[in-house]
Amino acid sequence: MTKTILFLVCAATFFKLFSQADKQQFSIEIMDDEALAIIDPNSEIEIIGSGFEWTEGPLWIQEGNYLLISDIPKNKIFKIDSEGKTSEYVHPSGYSGEGVYGNEPGSNGLLLNQQGDLVLLQHGDRRVAKMKTPINNPKPEYETLTDQYEGKKFNSPNDGVFDSDGNLYFTDPPYGLPKLMDDPRKELDFQGVFCLTTHGELILVDKLTRPNGIALSPDGSKLYVAVSDPNHAVWYQYDVTNPGKTVNKQLFYDATNLIGKEGQQGLPDGMKMHDKGYLFATGPGGVWIFNQQAKPVARLHTGQATSNCAFTEDQKILFMTADDYVLKLRLK
């Protein structure tokens, strides 16, 4: 056996053992039988992609039957097809300038608008943008939807959600700035939650220490925002009265006491709302599943800092971005 072949065999064996070790950290915890309506506790959490740097922004594309994910440090979007094949989809995804821009220059949240256009929350270019060029264009072009508030550049738009009318709610923490809160290029003196209306009006919804993931209830009457602040790791709930207008801000759930504990990697981050009213929210340990009364009914333990999640159109499959992995779980 040549040294090259021996190396490849050893590498393959190591990866297999490494993957098996990580899989042992995967588990489904049913906290209330209510969760059995949507989750089979005997389902397996599967690895469908690996070898990335930091995965985010999963988006299922029904027309084409594939998943898109952001790899923020690589400034790329990758595609995972129905057969599990991974390929580069877009580069650059979030920073179109020259040279290096911090540790997280790429796109984060990925969305489809009502017209089916790909909308990106771009760290490096500090904007919300829409892709103008055809998919897989070697030099993608973007149209800026919004990049500043009251004449000041955003920090680094992170995640977003469209309501049924096409109004876009999004968060703007400092994570894409090379020096984060201390970056000299930071223009806003706060981290905000915003709404870009279909009329082009930009509304400040709230100021939070580290706004991150964002979701709406199925009827659009409630807004949920994750706060990825290790000193205040919480989710908030708001009542929506009009586009960008909220009242009755309430603490939805507080996970601060878990931060730093064994097996509780990660912070409140991305989330998606199930049509049945269950909030799938990434947080300490993996993915939390809350009912409408803010009660956790199940947890999906990944053993990784888990950044976001997404459903297929029929909501029979949940995808999760967890550190350098992409995971899949079949739902009921």
pLDDT 10s digits, 189-233: 999 999 999 999 999 999 999 999 999 999 999 999 999 999 999
Structural domain contains residue 189 = yes
Is there a contact between 58 and 67 (Cβ–Cβ < 8 Å)?
Answer: yes
In this structure, the number of other CB atoms found within 10 A of the CB of residue 140 comes to 21
Which residues lie closer than 8 Å to 248 by C-beta, 6 or more apart? 238, 239
Structural domain contains residue 200 = yes
Q: For residue range 280-325, list pLDDT tens digits in order.
A: 999 999 999 999 999 999 999 999 999 999 999 999 999 999 999 9
Structural domain contains residue 191 = yes
Q: For residue range 168-177, list pLDDT tens digits in order.
A: 999 999 999 9
Strand 325-330 to 317-322 pairing: antiparallel
Residue range of the domain that includes 98: 49-264
pLDDT at 26: 96
Q: For residue range 132-158, list pLDDT tens digits in order.
A: 976 666 678 999 999 999 999 999 999
C-alpha angle 116/121/126, rounded to 5°? 140
Structural domain contains residue 128 = yes
Q: How many domains does the chain have?
A: 1
- The predicted model gives 83-87 an average pLDDT of 94
Structural domain contains residue 249 = yes
Which residues lie closer than 8 Å to 243 by C-beta, 6 or more apart? 163, 165, 167, 195, 197, 198, 203
Instruction: Quote the pTM value.
Output: 0.92
Distance CA 202, CA 193 (A): 10
Tokens describing residue 39: 């989750």
Structural domain contains residue 31 = no
Which single residue is written with the structure tokens 């800092």?
305
Structural domain contains residue 120 = yes
Structural domain contains residue 10 = no
Amino acid at site 181: M
- The predicted model gives 239-249 an average pLDDT of 98
pLDDT at 139: 78
- pLDDT greater than 80 at residue 64: yes
Nearest CA among 205, 209, 208 for reference residue 196: 205
CATH assignment of the domain containing 82: 2.120.10.30
